[in-house]
Structure 1
Amino acid sequence: MTDHLDRLEAQSVYILREAYASFRSLCMLWSIGKDSTVMLWLARKAFYGHVPFPLVHIDTSYKIPEMIQYRDRLTAEWRLNMIVGQNREALAAKQTFPDGAIDRINCCRLLKTEALKNTLSGAWPRQRFNHDLGAYEPDPNPEPFTGVIAGVRADEEGSRSKERYFSPRTVRSQWNVGDQPPEFWNQFNTDFPPGTHVRIHPLLDWTELNVWEYIERERIPTVSLYYDQGEGQRYRSLGCGPCTLPVASDAQTVSEIIVELRSGRYANVAERSGRAQDKDDGGGLETLRREGYM
């Protein structure tokens, strides 16, 4: 009998294959967190060990060091086509929250939203991992990505619950929440007018618990920050260091995290409760996400 994880896996694999068949210029966002890493694992399953499109990571330069180390290790081990984008101008001018120049929301707007939009469009320089050299170098191909796979889950926070599996944006990645196509009986619209930028969400119906159950079943490698290292705390959601706080926890394994989520201290606690920028955006991320944020 097919269990719930098998059904979720099959649906996600189907969405990934539909996306690959429908969009000529396709990429996948990889935030290095557990959700997008599960999505990467699913892509490798969908295409028999090979990921046939580039991965894109937006590096704010404030990610926790273990995250970047993990990104580059898997990039090399799995032979990933890895692209990194940044808002170099804002970083050089120190127009950031950690530098005391702007608030958290505007820092996210510059370092994440603007960096993402201009990286996807090819308007700003991109760095691509050269597997022969084991290092990043300028990407000579400025072609824009029109289909963008993202690890959004509907249960993660309020604005994400309004998403669709195939969600159209404007050419500048702006999201009209009230103008989303209906999706019934596994019928998805993948035919959009020229210039439409489409976000694809293979994990939309997964929950945080599903993600960890799948990580356990598949033995997917994840960042060490998710586990208590003996200090009585761990990260539940990963982001920039200055705006992401660990939670109290003694969970040192995937199984112990699953217990916490099923019946323990985090069974009914929002996953992103430790993300300060969510609180600054009125308790959610809709303002940023309408503008193109992940």
Structure 2
Amino acid sequence: MDHLDKLEAQSVYILREAYREFKNICMLWSIGKDSTVLLWLARKAFFGHVPIPLVHIDTHYKIPEMIEYRDELALKWKLTMIYGENKQAIQEKNTFPEGKVDRITCCQSLKSEALKKTLSGEWDRYIMDLNTGKYIPDTNCERYTGVIVGVRADEEGSRSKERTFSPRDKENDWDVGDQPPEFWNQYKTDFAPGTHIRIHPLLDWTELNIWEYIDRENIPITSLYFDQGDGKRYRSLGCYPCTTPVESTSKNISEIIHELKSGKFAHIAERSGRAQDKDDGGGLETLRKGGYM
């Protein structure tokens, strides 16, 4: 087995363990490359079928191509596709792009709070009707006890402090100092009732690993990651008012891999184009302690 084979096998094992150990779990799909690799691994883990609902938190400020890509792939792969939102904040335009709050407050509202209330079932969820391709109200309001997330330890500082099976309290709040030990791939999966669990099958992957795996497996991803002729592309995807592309002429996966190996981005954080990270002191720990992805 080469390095990618080992990473794949470990991630498939974690996905199967999560599905076996936890009663009602979902998988977050941000539509980016990492969570799409995670989705691909889930299809491998369960032999082409994904028995876990996919959840996306729609801020209504995502780049339009991201939403188009989400729905096209959900229909093609027959996914249980669900989205949630902070309907009140969006309707009242209580957001950063509208000039009413700062970036951190906007993220806490449109992402963290929306995620908490969507996972708990307190706020409306919308599920794709695979016959029509339209979203309808989801009648299942049962609380998700765990959520599978495509974060990597090398992505930014706070994520390097995660465990593969990471407990949160009932409000999804994260106590960074109270993490279970994980030695020699021995994972704690027995938690007190009411504990919310975040599961991270990609924690040991790097940005380069992700792109090499996408290349090897021919995984479909959004074209936003590639230069469309203006010498720029997105390295990390998010809300368009707070995400800027990087200077890059990479037009395909091979060129991105070369770019990562050549050192062009070796010492530049992957999320350097995400303005909310800078507003959070250069990282995401404040936001993530409160439930941010």
Measured against the shorter chain, the TM-score band is over 0.9
SS of the residue 1:168 aligns to: strand
Q: Paired residue for 2:181?
A: 182
- Counterpart amino acid of 1:86? E
Distance 1:287 1:247 in 2: 25
Distance 2:79 2:120 in 1: 21
Q: Paired residue for 2:66?
A: 67
Return the offset for 1:4.
0.4
Return the offset for 1:102.
0.3
Q: Paired residue for 1:50?
A: 49
SS of the residue 2:183 aligns to: coil
Report whether the alignment pairs 1:220 with 2:222.
no
Distance 1:268 1:219 in 2: 27
Q: Paired residue for 1:83?
A: 82
Q: Paired residue for 1:235?
A: 234
Cα deviation 1:155-214 (Å, max 9, x = unaligned): 000000000000000011000000000001111111101000000000000000000000
SS of the residue 2:124 aligns to: coil
Cα deviation 1:250-287 (Å, max 9, x = unaligned): 00000000011011421221100000000000000000
Q: Paired residue for 1:136?
A: 135
Distance 1:262 1:132 in 2: 44
Q: Paired residue for 1:254?
A: 253
How many residues were matched structurally?
A: 293
- Structure 1's consecutive aligned runs of 4 or more residues displaced over 3 angstroms after TM superposition are none
Q: Paired residue for 2:266?
A: 267
SS of the residue 1:273 aligns to: coil
Q: Paired residue for 2:19?
A: 20
Q: Paired residue for 1:95?
A: 94
Among the aligned pairs, what percent are the same residue?
Answer: 71
SS of the residue 1:272 aligns to: coil
5+ long unaligned stretches in structure 2:
none
5+ long unaligned stretches in structure 1:
none
Q: Paired residue for 1:209?
A: 208
- Counterpart amino acid of 2:43? R
TM-score w.r.t. the length of structure 2 is: 0.99
Distance 1:248 1:209 in 2: 18
SS of the residue 1:271 aligns to: coil
Distance 1:95 1:151 in 2: 28
SS of the residue 1:57 aligns to: strand
Cα deviation 1:109-146 (Å, max 9, x = unaligned): 00000000000000000000011222100000100000
Q: Is the 8 A contact 2:71 2:133 kept in 1?
A: no
Q: Paired residue for 1:112?
A: 111
